[in-house]
Structures are given as structure tokens and as C-alpha cells.
Amino acid sequence: MKILFVEKVHSFLHERLIKNGHKCVNAFNQSKKEIEKNISKYDGLVIRSRFKINNSFLKKAENLKFIARAGSGLENIDVKYAKSKNIYCINAPEGNKQAVAEHALALILSLFNNITKSNEEIKNNIWLREENRGIELQGKTVGIIGFGNTGSALASLLSSFSLKILAYDKFLKQHKFKSSLKQIYNDADIISLHIPYNEENKYFINESFINNCKKSIYLINTSRGLCVNTSDIISGMKNGKIKGICMDVLEYETSCFKNLKLEKIASKNLKYLNNSKNVILTPHIAGLTKESELKISQVLFQKITKLNLCD
């Protein structure tokens, strides 16, 4: 097969595909328009988040057999239309699940132990001990919403902390951590979000969700920014329903995740979050580790091979 790489991924994928007799072509510096013009020449496409693959693009991909996204989500691909053209859409959530889970845990521990706050204070020659007294995870109840690759990986990490884990996922059948959303509303001290972005999950965390929580919660989001209504969680912080927030993803990210769209409301909300002591933000890096880069390419290679496609 002839496979087009529009973004850089770990060389493992490129090298193994060539070793298996496929021709790999790089188009890192070509515009979407240029790529679209020549896409009919290719059987496979490898992408991260550089641009959206919509139906107008896919209509020109007359010979495309698969799209491989080097990451966990598929929201930048019109999967429904691709399937109608018999194009396989594959991703690699298995490849970065450990990275995301470790990042989520790191955020929780950093917030609970005032690590980022006290670090900044010391850099400014401020030495505060009692004011930075921390909170332990032991004995807490953690609600994990979305129990696929990253949610279950986080549960594995948390299992050694002598705490209670509640897992909600509409696709989860039987599991020792399985619970209802109602149980999470009633019991959770911490809620960690691990769901994909789609129209159903847009603003999954909103005013209604926050008001349903019986306790004041700590909110962790390492899934997608648009799964959380930023204005609503800020209101939750102001009225005491939310004690702290850790987010690796923001509602205001561009579709390629490379920067933020800071319009008036976005700028105001981001300023509030940046000035809040109980907020930790990171720039969509939870899944980006040296190890996950390789593992994602390994997973994609396995999945492409299993498709058993031929010229």
C-alpha cells in the first residue's frame, strides 16, 4: 500500500510499514489543500491533529482504505462518512493510557499537596509551611467517569491509596468499581473525567452536574476541553461547589490543540482560572511522553497489520 504521513510520529511506524513492503510518503510541509489534491493516490493516511478530515476531503480520497490517528480521539475525522466509504478509522488510546493516568494522578497529588503553589512561593522567597498543609488521598472517594483505557489505568494507579473508586461508563458491564452517576453524585470527593468528545458529551460537566454533587468536589479533566463548561465550573468554584480544578485540556483549544482561541469570555475565564490558587492547568500534554510516542506507533502498526489490506 501507499501510505501518506501528514504529521511526524515515532519512526517505528514508518520503518515497520516499509519493512512490510508498503511505500510511505511524508507530507509534513504540504498544506491541506495540496494534500487534498493528491489524496486519491494513497491507500492509507496517518495523522495526529493537524487538520480536520471532513467529507469534502474524503470525497477526493477515492482509494483510501484506512485513516490512522496517532492519538486517542477521533473527533477530527468524519468517522460516519468515512465508514460509508468503507474507510477504516483507527486510533491508539492503548498507547498513551498510562501517560494520561499518571498525569491525572500527578495533578491530583500536586493540588492536594500545594506543590505548584508552594514552588512558586519559594521562587519568590516566600516560605509558608502551615498555609501549605496538604490533604491525603487515603479515605477519599474518587469518581471516574469513562472507564475505557485511561479511566481504568487511573483506577489501577489509585488502587494502592486505600481509597474508594466509583466508575461510571455506559458501556461498562460488570466490574468491581462499576457504579451509577447517582452514586458518584452522592459520594465522590474527586471526579476525574475520561470520556471522548462527541455531541453527546459536550459540556458533560455543567451547572446541572455540579449542582447534583452532594459534596464539594475536586474536578480533574484529562479528556477533552469541550466536555466541560468552563463558565459553569468557575461559578461552581465561586459558590463553593467545587474546591479545586485540574485540567490538561481547555474548552478554548483550537481543533489542532496547538493554541487557544481567546475571545472575550475565554480570556476572562482563563484569567480567573490562572489567578485561582486551587487550579492547575497544563497545555494538553497528559498523553505526551517519550514512552507513549513509541507505544502509539506500535499500536497503530498492529492495527494496520490486522486490517489485512492489500493493493
- Over residues 174-209, the pLDDT tens digits come to 899 999 999 999 999 999 999 999 999 999 999 999
Helix (H) or strand (E) holding 293: helix 290-307
Domain assignment present for residue 310? The answer is no
187 CB neighbour count, 10 Å cutoff = 16
Residue where one domain finishes, among candidates 57, 91, 125? 91
Domain shared by 147 and 84, yes or no? no
What domain count does the chain have?
2
CATH number at residue 48: 3.40.50.720
| Stated pTM of the model | 0.93
Domain shared by 220 and 205, yes or no? yes
pLDDT digits (tens, 9 = 90+) for 27-70: 999 999 999 999 999 999 999 989 999 999 999 999 999 999 99
Domain shared by 87 and 106, yes or no? no
Domain assignment present for residue 292? The answer is no
Domain shared by 6 and 111, yes or no? no
Domain assignment present for residue 116? The answer is yes
The domain of 31 spans 2-91
Q: What is the DSSP letter of 288?
A: -
